[in-house]
Each structure stands twice: as structure tokens, then as C-alpha cells.
């Protein structure tokens, strides 16, 4: 891990109130693909990890029974709660939790995460994916910075000083080793993509 969980929490606390201003085309496309592939039904509970200001969780709330957001940054979670209240969304619950300890033990049908898992080292990503399987969702939608080819310092989202993106191959292996089948791979850019995984029965 390039930075500790506390480092990331502090970094996002600082930028929470301006986080929603802007967003690169790659981020926006990735976000929209995660929302599209999550595709919850009215009885589904969605757990969004690294939820930030709730970009994914709040967009899915009106199609799901309930959405639960977890993050390590109090500042980002406060923004998510403010946005939920402003939009009159009553079936969203946000709280502190990390990938490997989400602090949630209720039912989960779909787990989502967008632009967050790359903060973990590869071995920690594996542990996080194993923890997600234990929660029992039928689907896991992972949008993130990920390398489709060789890491390229000239491409957007190459920030080894703060981030730890994995290769698509490493993520695919971790998902299938943990008990998921990979059902879709969306390449947004050379270093951004969405992987959709369904639990093998």
C-alpha cells in the first residue's frame, strides 16, 4: 500500500466539499457503467464500498430496496448524507467501514465500488474481494483505475505516489479465485475499466 488507510481518509476529508465539482470523462463513464451494470431490482440491498460522496449509492437508491455506503473518510460520508437529505432519499445509510472490514453484516445482493479499490495493495485487494464474497452478494461491480496493458506514465490516472492500481489480469484472477465468474469487462481507457462478476453457484 502506497499510503495508509488513515492517509487516504485525511486526504479525502480535505477535498470532500469540492469532490463533486468536475470529474474527468473517464471517471464519469466508469461511474455510469458501474451504475448500469449494478442494475438492482426493487428487493435488492446494495453495498457500495469506498462510497465517497455517494455517487453510486445515491444513483441506485430509487431502484433498490436499500443502499448502504461505507467509506473511511468522515468528510466524504458527511457529503453523501447531506446529498441524500437534500434529495429526500430515505433508503440510504452511510457509515465508516473499510474494504476489508466493512462493518456491515446485514443481507447484501449487490456490491459496488468505483474508483476506490486502487488505494489498496494487490494482496489487500485480494483480501477485500474474499471479504466481499463472504458477504454473499450475487453480483460485484468493480469500476476502477486498472491496467489493461503496461502501466504508462503518460496516460491519465498514473499516480504511483498515491495509488496502487492492479492489472486487469490480477483482478480477474482474484475474482475467479474467490468464487466469482467474470461476466463483463468494460475498457473505458487504457488505465480505467469496469469488471462485472457474478457469484458461482
Ligand X SMILES: C[S@@+](CC[C@H](N)C(=O)[O-])C[C@H]1O[C@@H](n2cnc3c(N)ncnc32)[C@H](O)[C@@H]1O
Binding positions for ligand X, rule: CB under 6 A:
5, 8-9, 12, 31, 49-52, 55-56, 71-73, 76, 98-99, 114-116, 119-120
**Element (H or E) spanning 33, and its range?**
helix 25-38
Which residue's CB is nearer to ligand X, number 9 or number 45?
Answer: 9
Which residue's CB is nearer to ligand X, number 103 or number 154?
Answer: 103
CA distance 112 to 51: 9
Shortest separation between residue 44's beta carbon and ligand X, angstroms: 18
Which residue's CB is nearer to ligand X, number 150 or number 195?
Answer: 195
Cβ-closest position to ligand X: 52
**b/e map of 62-100 (b: 16 or more CB within 10 Å)?**
eebebbbbbbbbebbbebbbebbeeeebeebbbbebbbb
The per-residue DSSP string of 159-181 comes to -TTT--PEEHHHHHHHHHHHTEE
Which residue's CB is nearer to ligand X, number 8 or number 66?
Answer: 8
Which residue's CB is nearer to ligand X, number 45 or number 132?
Answer: 132
Instruction: Name the grid cell of 179.
Output: 468464487
Shortest separation between residue 151's beta carbon and ligand X, angstroms: 19
In three-state secondary structure terms, 140 is strand
Amino acid at each position: 500500500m502506497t499510503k495508509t488507510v488513515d492517509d487516504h481518509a485525511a486526504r479525502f476529508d480535505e477535498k470532500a466539499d469540492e469532490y463533486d465539482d468536475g470529474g474527468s470523462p473517464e471517471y464519469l463513464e466508469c461511474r455510469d457503467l458501474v451504475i448500469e451494470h449494478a442494475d438492482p431490482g426493487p428487493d435488492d440491498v446494495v453495498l457500495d464500498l469506498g462510497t465517497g460522496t455517494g455517487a453510486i449509492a445515491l444513483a441506485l437508491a430509487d431502484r433498490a430496496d436499500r443502499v448502504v455506503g461505507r467509506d473511511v473518510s468522515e468528510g466524504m460520508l458527511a457529503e453523501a448524507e447531506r446529498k441524500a437529505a437534500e434529495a429526500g432519499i430515505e433508503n440510504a445509510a452511510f457509515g465508516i467501514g473499510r474494504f476489508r472490514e466493512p462493518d456491515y453484516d446485514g443481507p447484501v445482493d449487490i456490491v459496488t465500488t468505483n474508483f476506490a479499490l486502487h488505494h489498496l495493495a494487490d494482496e489487500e485487494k485480494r483480501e477485500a474481494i474474499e471479504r466481499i464474497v463472504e458477504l454473499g452478494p450475487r453480483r460485484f461491480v468493480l469500476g476502477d483505475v486498472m491496467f489493461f496493458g503496461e502501466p504508462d506514465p503518460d496516460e491519465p490516472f498514473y499516480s504511483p505516489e498515491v495509488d496502487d492500481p492492479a492489472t486487469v489480469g490480477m483482478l480477474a484472477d482474484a475474482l475467479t479465485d474467490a468464487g466469482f465468474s467474470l461476466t463483463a469487462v468494460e475498457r473505458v481507457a487504457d488505465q480505467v475499466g469496469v469488471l462485472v462478476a457474478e457469484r458461482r453457484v
